[in-house]
Amino acid sequence: MNDILKEILNEIQQACISISHEIRYSDSLDLSEVEGKYNNSGDNVKKLDLISNDILKRRLVKCKHVRMIGSEEENYLIPGSGFLNGKYFVCFDPLDGSSNISVNITTGTIFAVYEYINDNIQSGRNLVMAGYCLYGGSTQLVVAQNTVDIYSLEKNGFKKTHEDWKIPTQGQYYSVNESNKHIFLDKKYNQIIETLIKKKYSSRWVGSMVADGHRTLIKGGFFSYPGNKNNPEGKIRLLYEAYPFAYIFEIAGGESSNGKINILDIPFPEKIHQKTPIILSSKMEFEL
């Protein structure tokens, strides 16, 4: 990892430590209060969403190599200190799974760092670093660059606990919101669910991309949010959720797809809050 990416990662790490502190030492019911508005993704904005967004913005906007910043909670891209000649575009979902805040279930922060090539970003293939921070029983940071490394938050900061993590070739869990299965646009997902049930897989669904994606990365298996009649493009945002998780899974030896092509090969969106159906999987389940 070059020095510039280290600098960006350090700012993200410090932001995640601050967010973790807010979650651990605040009232979850207070943090889950709705702020009376919706973001551009159509989600209710909670108090902790705004706190997390402000923490990350303050950290990243001062990085002289960051040209632009994109957030789920912002309507438009934000110029960074490197607006004129910065090499990197940083996107984040400041608080993924905010519907779980009030009940004190796992939430997270997702980030993606893209490199401009000839002043353009073509697709997820422009990613040079991505990761997420998981706020659960402990706070963990997963960072993907040349390898996928896992860090745990200790008193003095993040300590690397696992290097070059690889997803198991096969898992024992599938993660799909089955309450939507009667309105899936592509009925192959119903067939996949039935196949996995017959193969004695167990169902797990938290409703947080970080929680469900992390479990799939660690334990293997199958995660998906298909398009349905209510949400034809699914609910996962391409720039700051789907691209970074697809990048992580590819480096870890897993698979990703929108049901047709690799997530990383989807062209860079014109709208920063564009959504996509998604599959994240071990190789064995992906072959199904």
Tokens at 232, concatenated: 């034809």
Residue 237 phi/psi, 5-degree rounding, is -75, 135
* Buried residues in 230-248 as b, exposed as e (16+ CB within 10 A): ebeebbbbbbbbbbbbbbb
pLDDT (0 to 100) of residue 83: 83
Catalytic-residue membership of 43: yes
pLDDT at 117: 94
> Rounded to 10 degrees, what is the CA torsion of 240, 152, 47, 12?
-50
- Architecture of domain 3-162 in CATH? 2-Layer Sandwich (3.30)
**Do the Cβ atoms of 224 and 256 come closer than 8 Å?**
no
Please give the pLDDT value at position 37: 55
Residues 72-79: contacts with CB within 8 Å, 24+ apart? 72/39, 72/40, 72/41, 72/43, 72/237, 72/240, 72/273, 73/39, 73/45, 73/49, 74/40, 75/40, 76/272, 77/272
C-alpha R_g of the chain: 18
Considering only the top CATH level, what class is 173-287? alpha beta
Residue 51 CA to residue 48 CA, distance in Å, equals 5
* Catalytic-labelled residue, pool 11, 93, 149, 212: 93
Domain locations along the chain: 3-162, 173-287
pLDDT at 46: 78
Contact present, 171 and 222 (Cβ < 8 Å): yes
Is there a catalytic annotation at residue 73? yes
The pLDDT value recorded for residue 158 is 97
Is 95 catalytic? The answer is yes
Q: Read off the pLDDT of residues 48-97 as tens digits, 9 standing for 90 and up.
A: 889 999 999 999 999 999 999 999 999 999 999 888 889 999 999 999 98
Which is the catalytic residue, given 11, 72, 255, 285? 72
Which regions in the chain score pLDDT beneath 50? 38
Catalytic residue among 241, 250, 255, 285: 241
Give catalytic status of residue 33 as yes or no: no
Residue 186 among the catalytic residues: no
Q: What is the pLDDT of residue 35?
A: 57
**C-alpha closest to that of 88 among 115, 107, 110:** 115
Q: What is the predicted pLDDT for the residue at 47? A: 84
* Look-up of token digits 């608080």: 95
pLDDT score of 24:
86
Q: Give the pLDDT of residue 274.
A: 96
State whether the Cα torsion 104-158-1-15 is positive or negative. Answer: positive
Would you call 270 a catalytic residue per the annotation? no
Q: What is the value of pTM for the model shown? A: 0.94
Answer yes or no: 119 catalytic.
no
Q: What is the DSSP letter of 41?
A: T
